[in-house]
Amino acid sequence: MNTRAIWVVWLVMALAGITGRADGAAQGKLGPAEVQSEAASLRRQLLDLGMTPSEVRNAVDACVRGGFTPGETARVLGLLAKALLAGLPHHDLLARLYEGVAKGVDPPRVLNVLEETARTLRDAKRLVDRLVLEGFSAPDYGMAVQMVADALAAGAPPSEVLRSIREDRPLPRPVPDVRQAFRSGPRRPRGGPGP
């Protein structure tokens, strides 16, 4: 078994909560104990942030199937943790990971797609938060963020997304109709102050 395979198997075991003796043949800046500690920490973080054990296991399995190094796998898990900490829907990141691995895309390109997807989700969350503060209702907040992210990824400028919702106008096709994620417009006083 080559050094890379040893590291991948070892990382999978650490993420799955299996402890064992570290193999001294592994190379890298971090020693086996540090990598095992980091892997266990990432696993705990993801579970604490709301990912299910099967989601964590499936993400790691996808990384193994895709030939990711332990460092690349840690970056994937770190992106998932950051998304969860920011209140972003992580399912889109998982879907992109699985899609890239299924298509045989090389790990650095998959990581680039995941990072771009995370940026788009953060931008979408900022827009949704802005609209909610203006008085628009997003009954399913995660869905609203996802729909706005899909519109941004399809090329809609943020100003047009905001205008679409504020003015109740659809975006040009093939951009998703983000209005579906919002219930009503901003609350405006009628005829002066209330009781």
Averages of pLDDT over runs of 10 residues in the chain (195 residues) are: 43 43 39 60 86 92 91 91 91 95 96 96 96 92 93 93 92 86 59 42
Count of structural domains within the chain = 2
pLDDT attached to residue 39: 64
Closest residue by Cα to residue 179 from 132, 147, 135, 146: 147
Six token digits for residue 183: 């219930």
Q: Based on the domain organization, do 78 and 1 belong to the same domain? A: yes
pLDDT in tens, 122-173: 999 999 999 999 999 999 999 999 999 999 999 999 999 999 999 999 888 7
Instruction: Give buried/exposed letters for 113-142 (b at 16+ CB in 10 A, else e).
Output: bbeebbebbbbbbebbeebeeeebebeebb
Domain that holds residue 168: 108-186
Rounded to 5 degrees, φ, ψ at 148 are -65, -40
pLDDT attached to residue 173: 78
Q: Based on the domain organization, do 50 and 118 belong to the same domain? A: no
Q: Based on the domain organization, do 1 and 41 belong to the same domain? A: yes
Q: Based on the domain organization, do 50 and 124 belong to the same domain? A: no
Structure-token match 């983000």, residue found: 178
The alpha helices in the chain, defined as continuous H runs, are 3-15, 32-48, 53-65, 70-85, 91-102, 107-133, 141-153, 158-166
Question: Who's near 79: CB < 8 A, 6+ residues apart?
Answer: 93, 111, 114, 115, 118
Is position 98 within any domain? no
